């Protein structure tokens, strides 16, 4: 699975009851996985979550 998001199954089970938290965790896990260098994550604004 070359495009899989590296997420521990135990973490997904623990936060699975909170969809917003699971979404944030998977989003952050994805960006940390594909980052080539130090990056800034836009949490809010045009490329982040709606304010």
The number of folded domains in the chain is 1
Tokens of 20: 């917003």
DSSP the chain: -TT-----HHHHHHHTT-HHHHHHHHHHHHHHHH-SS------BSTTSB--
- Indicate whether this model's pTM tops 0.85: no
Q: Residue 19 belongs to what domain range?
A: 1-35
pLDDT of residue 42: 74
Tens of pLDDT, residues 5-42: 777 788 888 887 888 888 888 888 888 888 888 877 77
In a domain, 16, yes or no: yes
d(CA 24, CA 11): 12
**pLDDT of 46 higher than 70:** yes
In a domain, 46, yes or no: no
In a domain, 41, yes or no: no
In a domain, 9, yes or no: yes
């Amino acid at each position: 699975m070359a495009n899989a998001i590296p997420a521990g199954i135990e973490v997904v089970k623990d936060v699975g009851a909170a969809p917003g938290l699971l979404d944030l965790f998977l989003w952050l896990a994805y960006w940390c996985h594909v980052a080539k260098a130090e990056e800034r994550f836009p949490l809010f604004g045009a490329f982040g979550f709606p304010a």
